[in-house]
Amino acid sequence: MAYLTLKNINKIYPNGFHAVHNFNMEIEKGEFVVFVGPSGCGKSTTLRMIAGLEDISNGDFLINGERANEKGPREREVAMVFQSYALYPQMTVYDNIAFSLTLEGVDEDIIEKRVKKTAEILGLTDYLDRLPRALSGGQRQRVAIGRAIIRKVGVFLMDEPLSNLDAKQRVTMRYEIAQIHQETGATTIYVTHDQTEAMTLADRIVVMKAGYVQQIGTPYELYFHPANIFVAGFIGEPPMNFVRGTVKNGCISFGDNVLDLKKVLPNGIAAWEGKKVVFGFRPEHIQLGQHPDAYPVTAKVELTEMLGENSNIYITAGSDHAILKVDSHDTPETDVDLSFSIPYSRVYLFDAETENVIPGIARPDHPEKPD
C-alpha cells in the first residue's frame, strides 16, 4: 500500500476557476517527489491540498490507506517549508527551531537534545544564539528547514524553498536538502519551477501544465522518454529543439536539409504521409561534422555563448531555428555555415496536432531503465 495516495484530486475555486484537474498519484514512504512546472500550473495548490491548507474540491487524499480530506494540517503529521523563511525575528536560532516542540509542551531536556541534533545535521551548531537578521539567506533557509524536521513528522512539504537564494546558494542548498533527506528518510514533496532542482533532487518528478499532470517519472524517464512536446521542452537545458513540418515522401525539411524519417520510423512513417509532425533533438546530442547513422545538417551560425566548458550555438536553417551545445574548444565563428549531425537514436517525433510523442523509434543506446 502506498504511503500517500491522491485519487482524482480537483481544486475548483468559488469563482469557477479549475486550478487542478484529476490529479492521480501514489507516493511511497521515504520517496522524494518533485512537482515542477511554470507559474500557475497548479503545483503549489496541489501541495497545499496535501498539507490541508486548501480544501479538496473533489477526489480522495489518503495517508496509509485512510482518507484524510477532512483532517487538519497537524492531524496529517506534515511539516511545511515555505518560499519565505517565516522566522520569528525576535527569537534566536535555537528558539526558532524549538518553537513547535515548545508549543507541544515537550520536556526542555528533550527539546535541547533534538535542537542540537537538528543543528548538527544542518551545520547550525555555531549559530544557535544568533538572531535571524545576523544570518545569511542560506543559513536562514536551513533554520526554516530545521524547524520542520525537528518535529519528526512523516511528510515534509517544501514550496519553492530556494527561490529567494542566489545561484551559488541554491547549488549549496540543493546538496544540503538531498543530504537531509538521506539523514531523515522522510517522505518529501517539493515544489519548484526550476527543472534543474527537479532533476537533481527527485526520485520521481511530476510535470504539470495548466492544472493537468503531463507526465510522472524518474528524471531519467522524463529526459530520455518524454510523453509530449511540453515535457520534452521543459526538461533539459537548453531545451529540446523542435522542427515542424509536413511529411512528404517520408521526409520533412529542416531549412534546405531533407530529413528522411524512414531512418527513425521505418515501419510507421507511411501512416504520417501528408500529416504535420514535429522533429525533436536535444542541443547536447549532436555531433560536429558528418557521421554515419545520423542526419547531416548544414546551418548558419547566428550567435554563440561561451559558458566555460561548453558553448551554446544558435543556428538558423531557412526559417527554422535551433540551439546546439558543443565543447567550448569547438565554438565556431558567427556568420559561417556549420555542418553537424543528429544521430538517429537521438531523434524524437511528435504528432503536431496532439503534441504527444510518436512511439516506435528504436533507441538501442537508451534502455527503458539505466543499468
What is the DSSP code string of 163-206?
A: TTS-HHHHHHHHHHHHHHHHHH--EEEEEES-HHHHHHH-SEEE
Q: Examine residue 46 and state whether it is found in any structural domain, yes or no.
A: yes
What's the whole-number mean pLDDT along residues 109-122? Answer: 90
Distance from C-alpha of 11 to C-alpha of 22, rounded to nearest angstrom:
9
Could you count the other beta carbons within 10 Å of the beta carbon of residue 65?
9
Q: Examine residue 203 and state whether it is found in any structural domain, yes or no.
A: yes
Q: Examine residue 363 and state whether it is found in any structural domain, yes or no.
A: no
pTM: predicted TM-score of the whole model, two decimal places: 0.90
Are 12 and 98 in the same domain?
yes
Q: How many folded domains does the chain comprise?
A: 2
Q: Examine residue 195 and state whether it is found in any structural domain, yes or no.
A: yes
At position 90, the amino acid (one-letter code) is Q
What's the whole-number mean pLDDT along residues 28-47? Answer: 96
Q: Range of 117's domain?
A: 4-229
Strand partners, 314: 303, 323
Q: Examine residue 367 and state whether it is found in any structural domain, yes or no.
A: no
Are 192 and 57 in the same domain?
yes
**Closest C-alpha to 180, from 79, 74, 76:** 79
Are 214 and 277 in the same domain?
no
Domain CATH code at residue 280: 2.40.50.140
Q: Examine residue 335 and state whether it is found in any structural domain, yes or no.
A: yes
Distance from C-alpha of 161 to C-alpha of 65, rounded to nearest angstrom:
29
Give the pLDDT band (50/70/90) at residue 344: very high
- Cis bond leading into 238, ω under 30°? yes
Using only the alpha carbons of the chain, give its radius of gyration.
24
Are 208 and 326 in the same domain?
no
Tens of pLDDT, residue by residue over 283-323, are 999 999 999 999 999 999 999 999 999 999 999 999 999 99
Residue pair 161/145 in contact (Cβ under 8 Å)? The answer is yes
Helix, strand counts (H, E) of the chain: 8, 20
Rounded to the nearest angstrom, the gap between the alpha carbon of residue 322 and the centroid of all alpha carbons in its chain is 23
Distance from C-alpha of 44 to C-alpha of 217, rounded to nearest angstrom:
19
The domain boundary residue, chosen from 185, 205, 229 = 229
